[in-house]
A and B are shown apart, each in its own frame.
Chain A
Amino acid sequence: MSKEATVLFDAPGPRARARNTMVTVVASIVLLGILAAFLWRFNDKGQFAGELWSPFTKWTVWDKLILPGLWSTLKAAAVASVLALLFGVVFGLARLSDHWWVRVPAGVVVEFFRAIPLLILIFLAFFIPNKISPTIADSAFGTFQRVLVDNVFSVFGVEINAGTITVPAFAAVVFGLVLYNGSVLAEVVRAGVLSIPKGQAEAAYSVGLRKNGVMRLILLPQAVTVMMPAIVSQLVVLLKDTALGFIIAYSELLSAGFRQVPANYHNNKIQAGIVVAVIYIAINMAVSRFATWLEARSRRSRKTEAKTMGADVVAPPAPGMAAGGAASGV
């Protein structure tokens, strides 16, 4: 309970205590009522049957379905996190460039990918290459396309056969996650660098550093401290968003737990959903706890002038908003 909130009310006296007790009783009755109605319905539809719950006590279910799914989720999240951070640093710094021909295109890219839904980006990567690649293969860029796929995208399992590109679901999910979260991280990087007091850069220039040195030796190291909590929170968003892989049948945790398990064990969708949700919540809360810890640590540290943007604060305002202020990642 934060200090600011408790200031909203006095330490309760006898009447307030009585009132609070009454509210507690009424609220409990309402909540228990909702819960009871739900459980009654649950029982009515036979959802307490042991065969619906018992699959989760079997090792083969975990070994063959849920753990491989979890592994796919973590793999996609890890690869996408690294690439998104790279994307974020490159485009975040590009947006701070002194040259308009670097700054403007980078800005357009970042704002574009922030303004459209992640799922649409995943569809772009998953469906569109195999539709348009035969046309490209017949054109002057055919060789270029083949070389590009063979040498770069093959790392992600992308294949090219007779001019038609097949993108595996993994690559499509990673592509979408990188472009979307990378753009958000680019804004975080930009905000982080801009939040460093101007005197730091001025002092660096005055001792004779060039722009590159100022950025690399003075501004970025401090900005990293500022950005850390926001970056980790964004990685939670990224991890959660891997669940969109479900829609294009990437066999991640949600797909394995919520599609495969019910398909094999008496359609136990609700039970499977609860188990999968618990796994997601445990992972995400652990990562969030880490972000809070990082934030507290860097607030204590006296090495830097920089103030962190806060653990609850995730990203700069959404596209189209010039106003300052922080936003939560959704």
Chain B
Amino acid sequence: MFDFGPFFDNIDQILEGFWATIRLAALSAVLSLLIGTLLVSFRVAPVPLLRVVGTGYVNIVRNTPLTLVLLMCSLGLNDVLALKFSDNPSTTYYWWAVLGLSGYTAAFVCESLRAGINTVPLGQAEAARSVGLTFSQSLRIVILPQAFRSVIAPLGSVMIAMIKNTTVASAASYAEAAAVMKDLLDQPSFTSGALPLFIGVAIGFMILTLPTGFFFGWLHKRMAVAR
């Protein structure tokens, strides 16, 4: 039952799956932070239309299951509407997985940042206005930097959840670690290696999530705004 032989026989495939997970997570982290920042600036903007767009996007995406978001990207937009990034299936599914996961995570990044904006003291915004900064200047130079520094821990949690959510991309035709695990478990001959496979994959994800947590925890302490 604890025969790690089959696990190590397929180690190449498993590592390839984790590499696919890392590629998906890394790009989604960057993109979701960018989209999330854009969304939060929409949500606090002086233009009502932008506020409505930002709020609507966040409410819709946040309340839709990620599985549905990713399936709509891969099966709906890619297959039915033929909005493809490339003729190579694995490339186009990769980009749709990145886009779907980033779009979904961005809604949560936006919510965290908005909570962060609320922690910035009123005087900071007033001072920014009183020296004549425009809305975008005060947001860029005064408010967002402080907001970012105060929400590093929650952003870390969002990023860790995002890393774990990469597994859902297996439903959207992207072969990452969970998809590899499922492929191996689908083989009838793969019996004695089943439990070690679970342990291996679980440890693999812990190697990805725990250090990310430590990093964000450390960053949070280091970057805390002294008030």
Contact = CB atoms under 8 A, between A and B. Distances in A.
Nearest to A11: B46
B209 A319 contact: yes
A273 B185 contact: no
B64 A280 contact: yes
Chain A interface category by residue count? 35 or more
A180 to B, nearest CB: 9
B7 interface: no
B33 to A, nearest CB: 14
Interface string A7-29: 11110100010001001100110
Interface string A232-262: 0000100011111011000000100010000
Q: Is the interface of B mostly helix, strand, loop or mixed?
A: helix
A5 interface: yes
B111 A328 contact: yes
B67 A323 contact: no
A284 interface: yes
A45 B81 contact: yes
Contact of B194 (A127, A247, A315, A325): A127
A10 B213 contact: no
B154 interface: yes
Given A45-B80, A318-B213, A323 B153 contact: yes
Contacts of A20: 46-47
A298 interface: no
Interface string B133-176: 00100110001000000011110111011101111101100000
Given A116-B205, A328-B112, A123 B198 contact: yes
Given A319-B213, A321-B156, A128 B112 contact: no
A40 to B, nearest CB: 11
Interface in B94-128: 105, 108, 111-112, 115, 117-118, 120, 122, 125-126
A218 B217 CA distance: 32
B37 to A, nearest CB: 15
Given A131-B185, A319-B209, A326 B63 contact: no
A288 B153 contact: no
B225 interface: no
B154 A120 contact: no
Contacts of B48: 24
B210 A320 contact: yes
A134 B188 CA distance: 13
B160 A318 contact: yes
A209 B79 CA distance: 65
A112 B198 CA distance: 13
Contact of B1 (A136, A277, A319, A321): A136
A279 to B, nearest CB: 10
Given A9-B46, A45-B82, A325 B154 contact: yes
A144 interface: no
A128 B212 CA distance: 29
A119 B168 contact: yes
A199 interface: no
B192 interface: yes
A266 B153 CA distance: 47
Given A267-B80, A325-B153, A330-B162, 4 more contacts: A23-B49, A116-B205, A117-B178, A246-B67
18 contacts: A24-B49, A41-B81, A47-B81, A120-B202, A124-B198, A132-B192, A240-B66, A243-B68, A247-B67, A269-B79, A269-B80, A276-B68, A313-B115, A318-B161, A320-B214, A321-B214, A321-B216, A323-B221
